[in-house]
Amino acid sequence: MLIDLHDRMALVTGSTQGIGRAIAAALADSGARVAINGRRPEGVDSTVAELREESAARDLVAAPGDVTDEVGTTAVLAAAGDIDILVNNLGVFGSMPALDITDEEWRRYFDVNVLAAVRLIRATLPGMKERGWGRVLSIASDSAAVIPEEMIHYGMSKTALLAVSRGFAKDAAGTGVTVNSVIAGPTHTGGVESFVYELVDPATPWEEAQREFMLAHRPQSLLQRLIEPQEIANMVAYLASPLASATTGAAVRVDGGYIDSIIP
């Protein structure tokens, strides 16, 4: 399948590292002009330079700013211009005993993981509807369906993101704009690799270490390895393309079979 996103403008929040960076690269490699976002301008500029060094054909623009507040969001949208493809990737996560999660932490997780996405959808969806084409994608997690005991606040925020996507898909019904969420399973990032080696002998080769980790600590996974960020990005690029024109209001799983369900 040929994924052609030429003449499309994409914004990927939190795209200076990890899954967001992989998504930005995949969209750019498919022909989209991609706005790279992060809070620190120097981090954004560095990522833009790195991505261009990997492929000079990538059309990239720096869009630094904190999308968890209105001022930062306004600055990011001004740098990016009219958005055809919005990828809400920004998110925070961390573990905490359930009864120790304070009101402040509950609000922070909701503000960053949910409200920031809502704010950007509210700002970009009208233009997409007016132009008759658009893609809104929010990166959720297996934790949306399998709430972790040690990360209830995180799971709550990702469950809410599924509801947000489904609701806005109804708002965009019949306009040529699709709204979906992507449920990412346990994924190989720098932070996760460090976490794995906290539980597995650091002298263990990586391929063996991650398999040992998955079998002992993530036995639900049918993949039995961590998902690579590029594998998440592949699904996002497809859903962002004209090829996925009949998929909307969906929670599409790239979870390695982690969620025990026969219904996507």
Q: Rounded to the nearest 5°, which phi and psi values hold at 91?
A: -170, 155
Select which of 109, 154, 197, 258 is catalytic. 154
CA distance 165 to 137: 8
Q: Is 154 an annotated catalytic residue?
A: yes
Strand order through the sheet with 251-254? 59-62, 33-36, 9-12, 85-88, 134-141, 177-184, 251-254
Contacts for 185 with CB less than 8 Å, ≥ 6 apart: 141, 142, 221, 223, 227, 253, 254, 255, 256, 257, 258, 259
Closest CA relative to residue 20, chosen from 1, 175, 78, 28: 28
Catalytic residues: 154
